[in-house]
Amino acid sequence: MQIALAALAGLTFGLGILVSGMGNPAKVLNFLDVAGSWDPSLAFVMGGALAVTAIGYRLVLGWPKPLLAPRFNVPTMRSIDAPLLAGSAIFGVGWGLSGFCPGGLIPVLGLGRTEPLIVFAGLVAGLTATRIIRAHRETRKASPVRA
């Protein structure tokens, strides 16, 4: 049941991305082009999503527990650190250069265009590199220093 509902939520999200036009990188790039052919539609999509999410969080987090899980998995970290800032900057640069964010990228992968595949390959490469670097750092911390 949990997997079916997750799939339904994903399909609904993907359909929303496609219907809103946010799978089109030109929409995103035109939103960022405030001095040229600025298109404010992305701001309306994000504002609508933020409003629905804020209402949903207020309602659902008032429940004693989720319907299909033993507890809520809400992030507890509140600090702004270097990895968060670096990741945000990389995300923003990638979104600005390609016009695709991960949320808009996934639904358009199956449309037969090569651009989303290239961006997806870069996304996977970045995630993989991050995991390798973090694992390497953790093993260096755990191993004793040799003289």
Domain ranges (residues) in the chain: 2-142
pLDDT band at 147 (very low <50, low <70, confident <90, very high): low
pLDDT band at 145 (very low <50, low <70, confident <90, very high): low
Burial 115-132 (b: 16+ CB within 10 A, else e): ebeebbeebeeeeeeeee
pLDDT band at 69 (very low <50, low <70, confident <90, very high): confident
pLDDT for the residue 34: 87
Q: How far apart are CA 136 and CA 15, in angstroms?
A: 39
Q: How far apart are CA 102 and CA 10, in angstroms?
A: 13
Q: How far apart are CA 99 and CA 50, in angstroms?
A: 20
Contacting residues for 10 by C-beta, under 8 A, at least 6 apart: none
pTM strictly above 0.75:
no
The pLDDT of residue 23 is above 70? yes
